[in-house]
Amino acid sequence: MYAVSGFSRTKKTALAGPKETESLMTRAQALVLVTVFAGACSSPPPERTLIDVAATALGGADRIRSLKAIALTGSGSAPNAGQNRMPDDELPVWKVTEFTRTIDLANSRTRVRQLREAQFQFAGATVQRTVQGLDGDVAYNATPDGTMTRAGEAAARERRIELLHHPITAVRAALDPAAKITNLRAEGNDQLIDITTAKGDAITLAVDQSTHLPSRVMSMSDNANMGDVAIVTTFTDYQDVEGVKLPRRLRTMMDKYLQMESMISNTALDGDTSDLEVPASVKAAPAPTPPPVVVNVEPVSKGIWWLAGSGNHRSIVFEFDDHLTLYEVPLNEARSKAVIDKARTLSTKPLTTAIVSHHHFDHSGGLRVAVAEGLTIVTHRDNEAFFKDLLARPHTIVPDALQMKPTPAKFEFVDDHLTLKDSSMEVQLYHLLDNPREGTNLFAYVPRDRILVQADLYDASWNQHLWGENVLANLAQRKLKIERDVPVHGVIEPFDQMVKTIKAKPTIAGTN
């Protein structure tokens, strides 16, 4: 993810040019002006004054500069953007039962530990412990037993920006003489400035005009599905802790979605942070790069191929009389472009159509590249507004295929069912009904081969199959004679095996 400098810029007021000014001035007026200018030059620019005012309200610039560490303990919630049942439903939420965030200000280190519980039906571990940290430019993840693994450059960048989403770190960064502070403007009851840190990270700080305390920190970032997004953390419920004002409630939005809300129950200043330093072995390890996208082709039946390879998001290609149709453009542009390219090698017939199984972000991540590649999108009608919005959003921070080649979208919407049929192939599409997780899901059935093609209905490797009975009821209701499951997640299995796994007592999800 990349950050760019802040929000809308205020219009610059036009100034009279020097020639014009001279002609209008008397010598005496000029002298007065010089004096006034000299006086003005010695006072700090208004951006600097705003930082000083905010620093004073937080406890004083010297106090902020001399702070060594902050340790925050609390609880909160972390919704899952792009995983709701319907595109406009409330997001499924992880309840964060324990949360600690430690910041070593002097050494630019931070660590966030979370214990979270799924408040929604989830196929993986429903209780999870996460440990994520940053030591300078080195990001790492750790297991609960302390094993650390270096994380990639993108995580490091993201966490460096996230570290600035706190009033103390933001104001401290702005107090650094090497920081650039520009573009003072008013917005509602706040005054805003753009800060570019000595490292080049850009945030916007909002200061409440009545309390003089920071009210928000904002930064811009790229999201694979949503493109340019504002990440905004709001600070409220300030309390005094040893002479420093600290917010007890922090609420971070990504665009229109709540990303994290934390309620701080305890704050400790200047505690021991020696354990935030990453071991030399982790520091010395190269930052991992995203694994290469590999697409392997596995023939399933005549004119049907399963495109697997790296990761656990597969696609299926169907060959019709005069064209190819792809089921699923998953994950992101890189995966989906590779899948589209591979599909085009399977036949001389053109690839014309992509069925997008449902709106969840990991299944619609290839929507934009599919449109840029000229494919007609087949999806459930309830995805229409959501997908049109995703297609219209700007992706300027990390320009994607559609940003670089704006292409009008072609859609074919499905209500309850749709049959795609010619003399070579028949694919029946059905809307999955009454499912607690999947409100817009279309699964496919090929009667000739008795094949089920599905995404998120079932994966043999899931911890539990909480909506398995609903899936079996849907398949029975459609009177399908299925012999094989050819899934987007998991492996190709005989249908008997799929039923057996669903009927078996679900694994009780443990902590991972």
Query: Applying CB under 5 A, which residues contact Zn ion?
Result: 360, 456
Three-state DSSP class for residue 63? helix
Would you say 216 or 360 has its CB closer to Zn ion? 360
Q: How far is the CB of 345 from Zn ion (least distance, A)?
A: 26
Q: How far is the CB of 456 from Zn ion (least distance, A)?
A: 4
Would you say 222 or 456 has its CB closer to Zn ion? 456
Q: How far is the CB of 486 from Zn ion (least distance, A)?
A: 15
Q: How far is the CB of 441 from Zn ion (least distance, A)?
A: 7
Q: How far is the CB of 293 from Zn ion (least distance, A)?
A: 17
Rounded distance, CA 425 to CA 422, Å?
6
Rounded distance, CA 165 to CA 51, Å?
15
Would you say 300 or 488 has its CB closer to Zn ion? 488
Beta strands 484-487 and 451-454, pairing class: parallel
Is the Cβ–Cβ distance between 232 and 13 less than 8 Å?
A: no
Would you say 233 or 435 has its CB closer to Zn ion? 435
Rounded distance, CA 118 to CA 464, Å?
13
Rounded distance, CA 197 to CA 490, Å?
45
Would you say 76 or 309 has its CB closer to Zn ion? 309
Would you say 109 or 360 has its CB closer to Zn ion? 360
Would you say 128 or 440 has its CB closer to Zn ion? 440
In SS3 terms, 192-259 reads as EEEEECCCCCEEEEEEECCCCCEEEEEEEEEECCCEEEEEEEEEEEEEEECCEEEEEEEEEEECCEEE
Rounded distance, CA 384 to CA 118, Å?
28
Rounded distance, CA 510 to CA 147, Å?
19
Encode 72-87: b = buried (16+ Cβ within 10 Å), e = exposed: bbbbbbbbbbbbbbeb
Rounded distance, CA 258 to CA 233, Å?
10
Between helices 46-58 and 167-175, what is the axis angle to 10°? 140
Would you say 261 or 456 has its CB closer to Zn ion? 456
Rounded distance, CA 318 to CA 263, Å?
51
Give the distance from CA 440 to its chain's centroid. Answer: 21
Would you say 214 or 365 has its CB closer to Zn ion? 365
Rounded distance, CA 172 to CA 70, Å?
13
Beta strands 148-150 and 417-421, pairing class: unpaired
Q: How far is the CB of 365 from Zn ion (least distance, A)?
A: 11
Q: Which of 423, 441, 421, 422 is nearest to 431 (CA)?
A: 441
Q: How far is the CB of 349 from Zn ion (least distance, A)?
A: 28
Q: How far is the CB of 62 from Zn ion (least distance, A)?
A: 52
Q: How far is the CB of 109 from Zn ion (least distance, A)?
A: 35
Would you say 203 or 226 has its CB closer to Zn ion? 226
Q: How far is the CB of 462 from Zn ion (least distance, A)?
A: 10
**What is the token pair recorded at 356?**
């997008």
